[in-house]
């Protein structure tokens, strides 16, 4: 009664060809990105490796002699910016995220407006933040062209990213955990402080580090709030400053060939910092990844 199934054999030829073509196209797309990036890195390393020496880390920029020029103020400036940025952006970003996820009543129009604005802010070009910084921080508040102004403007720049990442992390904490804690007589603050935040910290940390990595590569807003390129003294909170991307930008603009190699060395250092931060973020994520 039952029909005998057709014997197993080859797949129809057309199917096979289509599959192969698609696979090759995928490989090409991967190759394009990979080869371009690889070429860039090889090029940078070839040019810059000769200039990575102790002088590069201990000397300030020298506009007349590239052989003796270093990037100490720029590297220090970048590190100071990162530390300040973290200090500003994490409390404000996480606080906003907690408010929006745990406390805000979505029915209220001002909370919805707030959410809409944060999403839009994440898409504003960084140069616009730079103009805001110049008008509001440097001139309006009379802060001047100082490190603090640079850190504040970078904070504004990455704040939306940190808020969005933190909200994502807080939202991924299952509601059953909140309910369990409430059922034991915990107050809302205790639930947030002892259950939701600890469970969300890996996500928050990963998001913050990636935002930070974006911020330290930014040049445009720093140029506008007055990162200088001929800084020979170490940076201070209310003093003039420079940062690696700004220094790189300035070196590249110089006519002498040697300054280009110096710029390549700067790019290598910046890349090393970025890769370390991204690696740390990935490690954090894997280390604390939870299954619920």
Partner 1 sequence: MPDMESAPAAPATIAGLDEKILTERREAVSRTRRDVLFDVDGLTVSYADVPALKNVSLEIYKNFVTAFIGPSGCGKSTFIRCFNRMNDLIPTASVEGKILYHGTDLYGHEVDSVEVRKRIGMVFQKPNPFPKSIYDNVAFGPRILGWKKELDDRVERALRNAALWDEVKNRLKSSAYGLSGGQQQRLCIARCLAVEPDVLLMDEPASALDPISTTAIEDLMHTLKRDYTIVIVTHNMQQAARVADMTAFFSVEVDEEQDRRTGILVEYDETPTIFTNPGDKRTEDYVTGRFG
Binding residues for partner 1, rule: CB under 8 A, are 105, 107, 174, 176-177, 179-187, 190, 194-195, 198-199, 290-292
Rounded-to-integer distance, Cα 159 and Cα 132, Å = 15
Q: Residue 67 or residue 190: which is nearer to partner 1 going by CB?
A: 190
Rounded-to-integer distance, Cα 268 and Cα 49, Å = 8
Q: Residue 188 or residue 276: which is nearer to partner 1 going by CB?
A: 188
Q: Residue 11 or residue 106: which is nearer to partner 1 going by CB?
A: 106
Rounded-to-integer distance, Cα 124 and Cα 47, Å = 34
Any idea what DSSP says for residue 185? T
Q: Nearest CA to 201 among 160, 168, 153, 157?
A: 168
**What DSSP string describes 47-83?**
HHGGG-SHHHHHS---SS-GGG---HHHHHHHHHHHH
Q: Residue 16 or residue 194: which is nearer to partner 1 going by CB?
A: 194
Q: Please report how close the Cβ of residue 235 comes to partner 1 at its closest, in angstroms.
A: 41
Q: Please report how close the Cβ of residue 73 comes to partner 1 at its closest, in angstroms.
A: 45
Q: Residue 24 or residue 183: which is nearer to partner 1 going by CB?
A: 183
Q: Please report how close the Cβ of residue 17 comes to partner 1 at its closest, in angstroms.
A: 48
Alpha helix stretches (DSSP H) within 172-219: 175-183, 188-191, 197-216
Is there a contact between 266 and 175 (Cβ–Cβ < 8 Å)? no
Q: Please report how close the Cβ of residue 190 comes to partner 1 at its closest, in angstroms.
A: 5
Q: Please report how close the Cβ of residue 204 comes to partner 1 at its closest, in angstroms.
A: 15
């Amino acid at each position: 009664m039952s029909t005998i199934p057709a014997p197993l054999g080859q797949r129809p030829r057309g199917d096979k060809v289509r599959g192969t073509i698609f696979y090759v196209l995928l490989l090409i797309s991967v190759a394009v990105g990979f080869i371009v990036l690889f070429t860039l890195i090889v090029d940078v390393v070839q040019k810059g490796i000769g200039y990575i020496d102790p002088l590069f880390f201990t000397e300030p920029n020298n506009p007349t002699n590239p052989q003796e020029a270093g990037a100490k103020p720029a590297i220090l400036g970048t590190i100071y910016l990162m530390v300040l940025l973290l200090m500003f952006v994490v409390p404000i970003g996480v606080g906003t995220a907690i408010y929006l996820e745990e406390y805000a009543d979505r029915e209220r129009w001002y909370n919805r407006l707030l959410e809409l604005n944060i999403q839009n802010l994440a898409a504003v070009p960084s140069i616009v933040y730079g103009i805001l910084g110049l008008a509001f921080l440097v001139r309006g508040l009379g802060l001047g062209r100082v490190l603090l102004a640079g850190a504040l403007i970078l904070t504004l720049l990455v704040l939306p990213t940190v808020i969005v990442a933190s909200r994502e992390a807080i939202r991924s904490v299952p509601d059953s955990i909140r309910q369990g804690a409430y059922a034991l007589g915990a107050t809302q603050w205790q639930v947030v402080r002892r259950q939701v935040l600890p469970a969300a910290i890996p996500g928050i940390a990963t998001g913050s580090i990636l935002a930070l990595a974006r911020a330290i590569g930014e040049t445009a807003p720093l140029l506008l709030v007055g990162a200088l390129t001929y800084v020979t003294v170490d940076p201070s909170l209310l003093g003039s400053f420079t940062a690696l991307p700004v220094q790189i930008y300035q070196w590249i603009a110089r006519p002498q060939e040697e300054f280009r190699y110096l710029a390549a060395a700067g790019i290598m250092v910046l890349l090393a910092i970025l890769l370390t931060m991204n690696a740390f973020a990935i490690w954090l994520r894997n280390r604390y990844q939870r299954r619920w």
